[in-house]
Amino acid sequence: MKPIAATITNVQRFSLHDGGGIRTVVFLKGCPFRCPWCCNPENLSSEPEVSFKERLCIRCSPRPDGGPCQTRPEDCPTGAKELLGRSRTVDDLLAEVVRDRSFYEESDGGVTVSGGECLLRQDFLCAFLEACHEEGISTAVETTLAVPLADAGRLVAACDAFLVDFKIADRARSLEVTGIDPEVRDANVRSVLGAGGRVVARMPIIPGFTDDAACVDSNVSRIRELGVTRVDVLPFHQLGQGKYDSLGRAYGLRDVSQLSERDVADVVARCRAAGLRTVVHGE
């Protein structure tokens, strides 16, 4: 039988805000949604891509016609060119993440799978999370939870925490701007909770999209109605801007200022007033 594999862009070690404790975050490539503020544009397409960082290029293979460098990413001497996305099997990936087992054990951490939208590859995701559990490693996923679930029971059994996005509260606007249907997400949250899963709501606060009081209050009400008791408030940042440049993609929020903890203080207050355990940036 052919090993289950998926396209992975990055395995990020020593992460501190992706599910508790010290964690290794695995990024699966591919997402059906298009949030204008996405900080991982390299994970939107499901296909491998090549990024190019002009500042690192030493013009080692110039073309007379001025066209783009033809050096393959694996041969680039400075790392100006990088292949984003390569196929990894469950066993291959597991062998990498278990190296940090001692850090997980000492910090109550584990492995988190993100994206993109990691639920696009539920066959791989469940197999990988189950393999982590067999090694005694705690697991989590970062997800919109807005795609159909193939087997909610299996997924819940393999995943210790679901970090679920609550973005644009209004359904029509959410569908228009991002493609995410909050009703699909909410139905899946109920399924996960009904199967005994743990859900943490995540509210990215994005100027002009999710930061107005009506959106915040609607999200808070929905989180409480669903029976979720904790929310992570995530202030907007610009950490992904350079990725758009290296991929040659337009980024519409380039001139939007990052938000500080002080900027989201009112959001935090609204969440806590509703009785939600609230953490800025997540833990």
Q: Render each residue's pLDDT in the chain as its tens digit; 283 residues.
A: 678 999 999 999 999 999 999 999 999 999 999 999 999 999 999 999 999 998 898 888 777 776 667 888 999 999 999 999 999 999 999 999 999 999 999 999 999 999 999 999 999 999 999 999 999 999 999 999 999 999 999 999 999 999 999 999 999 999 999 999 999 999 999 999 999 999 999 999 999 999 999 999 999 999 999 999 999 999 999 988 999 999 999 999 999 999 999 999 999 999 999 999 999 999 8
- DSSP structure class, residue 250: -
In this prediction the pTM is: 0.94
Listed residue (141, 80, 148) closest to 111, CA to CA: 141
- What pLDDT sits at residue 1? 67
Tokens of 105: 């054990």
Is 196 within 8 Å of 51 (Cβ atoms)? no
Amino acid sitting at position 90: V
Distance in angstroms (rounded) separating the CA atoms of residues 69 and 277: 51
Q: Which residues of 181-200 are buried (b: 16+ CB within 10 A; e: fewer)?
A: bbebbbebbebbbeeebbbb
Helices (H) and strands (E) in the chain, counts: 9, 11
- What pLDDT sits at residue 68? 67
Q: Which strand (E) or helix (H) includes residue 220?
A: helix 213-226
Please provide the distance, in angstroms rounded to a whole number, between the alpha carbons at the two ends of the chain.
39
Tokens of 156: 């819940």
Distance in angstroms (rounded) separating the CA atoms of residues 46 and 44: 6
Distance in angstroms (rounded) separating the CA atoms of residues 62 and 5: 36
- What pLDDT sits at residue 244? 94
- What pLDDT sits at residue 2? 73
Distance in angstroms (rounded) separating the CA atoms of residues 23 and 104: 7
